[in-house]
Amino acid sequence: MQNLIYVPDPLLRQKADKIQSVGTAEKEIAKTMMQIMLKAPGVGLAANQIGILKQIVTIFFVDQETKKEINYTLFNPNITYYSEEKIIMEEGCLSLPEQFAEIERPQNIVVEYLDENNKLIKKEVSGVESRILQHEIDHLSGKLFVDYLSSLKRNIMIKKVQKFLKNKKK
């Protein structure tokens, strides 16, 4: 089973490759990603975060209003619309353990992706789901949530992660 990778691993800064077609190998990667994400625990995971440069994202969270579990996998996700209305929410990342920051992002987005049956899905999302998808899709292009911060704040967080990982190995 793959392991999560942490900053400053260069794979987190690389662009993930588009998938030609969703096959058995991609479904297996997605299954592994879901297991890693739930064990972590996290609400989203991009394939780069386990060292695989393919455009695959998994998400899992409980909708606070409906109390329903939302979980699915996106292959080749692409955001085709960002609302002008923005919202600030706290974000964290499995690749930057114990680090959180307030990040401003669009409130609503429209995302297109392939599902596990190679069907093109177009979906409008808002709130937490929109936030998770924007965060994870950023990963696919090598962008981290700390990139929205000043370089000073970003560097402090990266140093904290390195210290955290050093202490974890002891």
The answer to whether residues 74 and 113 touch, using CB atoms and an 8 Å cutoff, is yes
* Residue 50 exposed, middle or buried by CB count within 10 Å (0-12, 13-18, 19+): buried
Domains defined for the chain, CATH in brackets: 10-169 (3.90.45.10)
**Is 116 considered catalytic here?**
no
Overall size of the chain counted in residues: 170
Question: In the prediction, which pLDDT does 133 show?
Answer: 98
Task: Output the CA torsion sign for 125, 26, 114, 117.
Answer: negative
Question: In the prediction, which pLDDT does 64 show?
Answer: 86
Task: Output the CA torsion sign for 96, 98, 102, 104.
Answer: positive
Question: In the prediction, which pLDDT does 2 show?
Answer: 74
The CB density around residue 52, as the number of other CB atoms within 10 Å, is 18
Residue 57's DSSP bridge partners are 46, 74
Q: What is the pLDDT along the chain (170 residues), one digit of tens a residue?
A: 579 999 999 999 999 999 999 999 999 999 999 999 999 999 999 999 999 999 999 999 998 888 999 999 999 999 999 999 999 999 999 999 999 999 999 999 999 999 999 999 999 999 999 999 999 999 999 999 999 999 999 999 999 999 988 888 77
What is the model's pTM?
A: 0.95
Question: In the prediction, which pLDDT does 168 show?
Answer: 80
Which one of the listed residues 26, 91, 129, 136 is annotated catalytic?
Answer: 136
- Helical (H) or strand (E) element with 35: helix 24-39
Question: In the prediction, which pLDDT does 118 show?
Answer: 97
